[in-house]
Amino acid sequence: MECGALEAKFRELKARLAEVDDLRAAASVLGWDQQTYMPPGGAEGRSRQMATLSRLAHEKFTDPAVGHLLDDLRPYEESLPYDSDEAALIRVARRDYLKLTRVPASLVAEVIGHQGLSYQTWTEARPANDFARVRPLLEKTLDYSRQFSSFFPDFEHIADPLIDLHDEGMTVATVRPLFDALRPELVSLVEAIAGQPPVDLSPVYGHFPQDRQLAFGLEIIGDYGFDFNRGRQDLTHHPFMTKFSLGDVRITTRVREDDLTDALFSTLHEAGHAMYEQGIHPDLEGTLLADGASSAVHESQSRLWENLVGRSRPFWEHYYPRLQALFPEQLGAVSLDAFYRAVNNVRRSLIRTDADEVTYNLHVMLRFDLEVALLEGKLEVRHLPEAWNDRYRSDLGIVPPDDRDGVLQDVHWFSGLIGGMFQGYTLGNILSAQFFEAATTAHPEILTEIGQGRFSTLHGWLKENLYRHGRKFTTHELVQRVTGGPISVEPYLRYLKTKYGELYGVEV
């Protein structure tokens, strides 16, 4: 086929995908509204409207004409440089197309129906501490998860197709060695810290009025470089980030007036996700590439701005006087040191979402191991609560008193498939330190600038090296390009050991 004809086909593919993007974005607006301003009475109509939009987007994307275009465009893709926008779009569209078309539509519909029932049952079973009630549903979910994987026989491990849905290119074989290297180090760090006197948390508990908490968070993310001309923040129950276009990236938070840390760190976290999206190159707008590379890379940016920057000593040297001025009665007599310790408190706890930087990954890695064991058939659902508690005992040194705060605590296995949804959290933490180390190696002044409330060098480096690429590269490719080497746990371990070794006065 002639070059001109291929270019015409590429334009047709792009136009078709742009319509899919429009439908998805419209569904996202409805989803954002549902979780922020919609009155309860809107629930029924809203879920119908969102289902219609996703069905239309799915039909448009999986149209056989798209498959033909992708086949016809192979020579065009091969004639272009691998890192060109055009080749990347065809490559990513082909991967997505395969994922959406290999699984029969009838099975997808069945699974969606099952997930609705499973989620509803979980919302009742968790407060009732009743694992037996969700057990048959979870068994069915496991069965569906295995069926899903069976449509992708080209993967090595049964969990790989599920991991690939969220972290393209990552597999059990690539994730496991990283986790195996991290786990024992974290277990000993947590043990060493647990032997130290507990930190006084009173500085962050008290009464902190909502308006001032929100103003402080907005001030910081403005300094970070969050673009309010292309984004905004609203209140919700479970904070999230969502994007309608590169010109409209929204974050949400919730405020607890008795806890200063909840809104603040969720704001810094979601702003990290949002700045990644805002930093994607405008040329990628309206295509599948205008998105984060993977769950792991996305989470690396929320964690970088939340933890490596927002919980660092230089950061608080700059912002603590400002915070004290906002809350003079509550913090006027609290030293910077005491406050810094309180926001970096490490303790063994049962709930993943409440966990600190050091213990958090132990919660995640044990879930990853359990879901892989379930998929492999080495663990049965009926033995899951026991296996869960055993891992809490060996990894965190504590055992949940009941299943409510044990195996029933996370929504993931009860609202989606089993597999693929947890590894991204810890990979994100690992990558946050690896990217941050690469940035500060290139620009050592970043550390001083953080202590002056200036973030443009760091933000500029991240935009230039990471954000602008959107989804053009897989996690592996991006890490290689940005850091010059493969994914490694070393920078993250160095970061944790240095910071917490100093904070707790422990040798690790």
Active-site residue list = 270
Q: How far is the CB of 225 from Zn ion (least distance, A)?
A: 18
- Residue whose C-beta lies closest to Zn ion: 302
Q: Which stretch binds Zn ion (CB under 5 A): 37-45, 128-136, 294-302, 400-408?
A: 294-302
Q: What are phi and psi of 199, to 5 degrees?
A: -80, 145
The nearer residue to Zn ion, 252 or 302, going by C-beta atoms, is 302
Beta strands, E only, 346-409: none
Q: How far apart are CA 243 and CA 471, in angstroms?
A: 14
The nearer residue to Zn ion, 20 or 280, going by C-beta atoms, is 280
How many residues interact with Zn ion (rule CB under 5 A)? 1
> Which of 270, 298, 221 lies closest to 469 in space, CA to CA?
298
Q: How far is the CB of 430 from Zn ion (least distance, A)?
A: 14
Q: 3-state SS string over 200-262?
A: CCHHHECCCCHHHHHHHHHHHHHHHCCCHHHEEEEECCCCCEEEEECCEEEEEECCECCEHHH
Q: Does 302 bind Zn ion (CB under 5 A)?
A: yes
Q: Are 30 and 50 contacting, i.e. CB atoms less than 8 angstroms apart? A: yes
Q: Does 423 bind Zn ion (CB under 5 A)?
A: no
Q: How far is the CB of 269 from Zn ion (least distance, A)?
A: 6
The nearer residue to Zn ion, 98 or 411, going by C-beta atoms, is 411
Dihedral class, residue 228 (left if φ above 0, else alpha if ψ from -120 to 50, else beta) = alpha
| Residue 39 neighbours by CB distance under 10 Å | 6
Q: Which stretch binds Zn ion (CB under 5 A): 126-134, 299-307, 353-361, 442-450?
A: 299-307
Q: Which stretch binds Zn ion (CB under 5 A): 27-35, 296-304, 307-315, 493-501?
A: 296-304
The nearer residue to Zn ion, 294 or 302, going by C-beta atoms, is 302
Q: Are 141 and 119 contacting, i.e. CB atoms less than 8 angstroms apart? A: no
Q: Which stretch binds Zn ion (CB under 5 A): 65-73, 202-210, 297-305, 352-360?
A: 297-305
DSSP letter, residue 381: G
The nearer residue to Zn ion, 302 or 312, going by C-beta atoms, is 302
The nearer residue to Zn ion, 268 or 387, going by C-beta atoms, is 268
Q: Which stretch binds Zn ion (CB under 5 A): 93-101, 126-134, 295-303, 439-447?
A: 295-303
Distances in Å between the Cα of 123 and the Cα atoms of 36, 126, 317, 401 are 20, 6, 43, 19
**Amino acid (1-letter code) at residue 459:** H
> Which of 258, 300, 307, 256 lies closest to 275 in space, CA to CA?
300
The nearer residue to Zn ion, 432 or 483, going by C-beta atoms, is 432
DSSP string, 111-176: HHHHHHHHHHHHHHHTTTT-HHHHHHHHHHHHHHHHHHHHT-TTSSSTTHHHHHHHSTT--HHHHH
Q: How far apart are CA 484 and CA 466, in angstroms?
A: 13
> Which of 467, 18, 457, 459 lies closest to 281 in space, CA to CA?
467
Q: Does 294 bind Zn ion (CB under 5 A)?
A: no
| Binding track over 316-355 against Zn ion, x by CB under 5 A | ----------------------------------------
Q: Which stretch binds Zn ion (CB under 5 A): 58-66, 298-306, 361-369, 496-504?
A: 298-306
Q: How far apart are CA 262 and CA 240, in angstroms?
A: 13
The nearer residue to Zn ion, 23 or 297, going by C-beta atoms, is 297
Q: How far is the CB of 388 from Zn ion (least distance, A)?
A: 23
Where do contacts with Zn ion occur on this chain (CB under 5 A)? 302
